[in-house]
Structure 1
Amino acid sequence: MSVNTKKPVLIVGGSGIVGSQAAKALRRLQPELPITIGGRDMGKAEAVAREIGGADTARIDLERADLGQPGGRAYSAVAMFLKDDTLNSLKYAQANGLPYLSISTGLFEIGPEVARYIHKPTSAPILMDSTWLAGTATLPALYFAREFRTIEAIEIAAVLDEQDLGGPAAYVDFERQTKAAPNALILKDGKWLWVSGEEAKRSFRGVDGTEVQAQAYSLLDGVSLAAATDARSIRFDLAVGESAARRRGEPFSSETIIEIAGQLKDGRTGRVRHELVHPAGQAPLTAVGVAVGIERLLGLVGGAPVAPGLYLPDVLIDPEYMVRRLKEAGTQIRRGP
């Protein structure tokens, strides 16, 4: 373990539903890595710290440039599980040269973070992880894309069970991202388009064969996949309602369907479908996505510690590694007809 990783990773929002699972996932992947659970409710934070072991807590004040941390406190990285409207967490990471990961910034609101990077490009590595469930759709899509020579279209559809919206911070994020930007960005026949109304609607076949109605949704997945694959058409659609597992009378599940069309490596034209299902919903997937992002930023897997820069998950993380970690965490991945 390097000198830097002897300092704890600060997980802001680490006592919430998703943040606490991310802390547990990071502990499973990196048993010796120190972790600090940051938040406002110290009772909840201390409970998570005790459960994962090798962790302590910190009271976080996002209204302060120093996050309310004493002068001698040092961290190895900062991971954000809530929207920081002040960007003080990013400023703190840049001021201290710390890797920074955030998952709550919508595609339409990345400007302030990008501007912070442009003004201080050599200060810290910044991982913009606000893709669907922290890269756990984009990276598998790129893994499945390896069987293609050229890609014409990528369509991703996700089912978020209405009982699986997460804690208060996650609900606020969802409300903001669905209401503040009434239009969604898609790539159609090589052109970026903001769509609404009927053009934003799409139906798809769910994992149990049910026809599901969905709406185009703008996260960073589309722009990231477009840059990585040169596909001519890409869209991400979200359906909020009843998951297939709950229709069977079971607890809610998380479902992501990835369909890729293009020329296969054997020269044939084809369309390939994969389904990713987690029986415990979206939180375990997000947890794995963030944990993998943190260990990559710190250079604990996949190469040296990441240099200062502005990154998307697929630029740093090996898709095959993400798929392996998702399977280990209980994700069921199957190739569909």
Structure 2
Amino acid sequence: MHANVLKPVLIIGGSGVVGAQGAHALRRLHPDLPIAIAGRDLARAEAVAAQVGNAQGVRVDLQRADLGLGEDTRFSAVVLFVKDDTLNSLKYAQRHGLPYISTSSGSFEIAPEVARHLRHPAAAPILLASHWLAGAATLPVLHFAQDFRRLDTIRIAALLDEQDMGGPAAAADYERLTSAAAAQILEHGRWRWVRDAAAASRFLSVDGTQVEAAAYSPMDVVTLAAATDAHSIRLDLALGETASRRRGEAFSTEIVIELEGERRDGAWVRSRHELVHPQGQAPITALGIALGIERLLGLAGGAAVAPGLYTPDGLIDPAYHLQRLAEFGVRIERKPDLVLAEPIAA
């Protein structure tokens, strides 16, 4: 399917900090794809649309079943960069048979979306992309995991600079996801919900500084548990000062991935990969959502996606994702593997 035959992609929250970058990332990937920038403030949406090009600004009202757009307006997909507590955006997408991407739900919040799909399984393809930076940790983990014959432990640590919170929507997501519920982890094969001292952890930033962190529950842990046979999986998040800012530079964003298990040559090892973007979290999130849009619409990686319920790893090839991350400015570094003296306990 060619971009120039599609109706506009409706990006709700597209005039916000991350949503606007998402629109620009999509434009970079697909110069001819029509885009509709949707928000509550029409003037702001139109200003972003003018910057993106081949785009229009529209006003949306998530309290209305038709989103304030009318039932005759036509789009090719619906993308959320804000939390829609009404699910009117999902209902709208299902009524019109449009691909839908959700980006702001913790693992403990997806039941309403899942229930909508179960009730209407043939209505639309739904991509649950509420992973850390829209899959920026999960998809690389699955790529790096190919070096292992058996993967036992997955540890993801994310350092978000305190100056890199983004706009009000991102700040609201962070507050909700870190305070509303305990964090979900997989520990020695058992699911646990942890908070306070049980959730606390530490990890090394990319410059070797020890950082205090806590378990966090976007969709990464449950997705990786379904995709691998690892017995222990957790994602820890720290809000603080990134290594670049400690050097006196602008903030960046850091993702550290540590995998333990039996390498394909039979050695028991711990691997460490570091992913850093010098402009913070927004460009990575924007790219992740843009890759989801292009895959759902059949603009890359295969034909347009059939109705169903998906996570990014079920649609996007990890190697392709990693390639795009590098093209969009992510520095990816693998540290030497640490060979372990004893096999890891099952």
- Regarding TM over 0.5, the answer is yes
8 Å contact 2:3–2:299 — kept in the other structure?
no
Q: Secondary structure at the match of 1:36?
A: strand
Q: 2: CA distance between counterparts of 1:315 and 1:245?
A: 34
Aligned: 1:205 with 2:204: yes
- The residue number in structure 2 matching 1:115 is 115
Q: 1: CA distance between counterparts of 2:5 and 2:311?
A: 22
Q: Secondary structure at the match of 2:56?
A: strand
Q: 1: CA distance between counterparts of 2:3 and 2:110?
A: 32
8 Å contact 2:187–2:231 — kept in the other structure?
yes
8 Å contact 1:5–1:298 — kept in the other structure?
no
- The residue number in structure 1 matching 2:264 is 265
Q: Give the TM-score taking structure 2 as reference length.
A: 0.95
Q: Secondary structure at the match of 1:133?
A: helix
Q: How does 1:1-337 map to 2 (within 5 A)?
A: 1-2=1-2, 6-181=6-181, 183-337=182-336
Residue 289 of structure 2 aligns with an amino acid whose one-letter code is V
Residue 171 of structure 1 aligns with an amino acid whose one-letter code is A
Q: CA deviation at 1:2?
A: 4.6
Residue 167 of structure 1 aligns with an amino acid whose one-letter code is G
Q: 1: CA distance between counterparts of 2:151 and 2:201?
A: 21
Structure 1 gaps, min length 5: none
Q: Which runs of 4+ in 1 moved over 3 A?
A: 1-5
Percent of aligned positions that are identical: 62
Residue 174 of structure 1 aligns with an amino acid whose one-letter code is Y
Q: Secondary structure at the match of 2:133?
A: coil
Q: Secondary structure at the match of 2:132?
A: coil
Q: Secondary structure at the match of 1:164?
A: coil
Structure 2 gaps, min length 5: 337-346
Q: Give the TM-score taking structure 1 as reference length.
A: 0.98
Q: CA deviation at 1:3?
A: 8.5
Q: Secondary structure at the match of 1:334?
A: strand
- The residue number in structure 1 matching 2:342 is none
8 Å contact 1:125–1:310 — kept in the other structure?
yes
8 Å contact 1:5–1:76 — kept in the other structure?
no
Q: 2: CA distance between counterparts of 1:196 and 1:70?
A: 44
What whole-Å deviation, never above 9, does each CA across 1:184-230 have from its counterpart, x for those lacking one? 11111111111123221111111000011110001110010111111
Q: CA deviation at 1:72?
A: 2.7
Q: 1: CA distance between counterparts of 2:71 and 2:178?
A: 39
8 Å contact 1:201–1:213 — kept in the other structure?
yes
8 Å contact 2:251–2:280 — kept in the other structure?
yes
Q: CA deviation at 1:52?
A: 1.3
What whole-Å deviation, never above 9, does each CA across 1:242-266 have from its counterpart, x for those lacking one? 1111111111100000000111111
What whole-Å deviation, never above 9, does each CA across 1:57-116 have from its counterpart, x for those lacking one? 111010110111134310000000000010000000000000000110111111111111
Q: 2: CA distance between counterparts of 1:200 and 1:87?
A: 30
Q: 2: CA distance between counterparts of 1:215 and 1:58?
A: 39
Q: Secondary structure at the match of 2:57?
A: strand
Q: 1: CA distance between counterparts of 2:62 and 2:155?
A: 37
Q: 2: CA distance between counterparts of 1:135 and 1:4?
A: 27
Q: 2: CA distance between counterparts of 1:281 and 1:76?
A: 30
Residue 219 of structure 1 aligns with an amino acid whose one-letter code is P
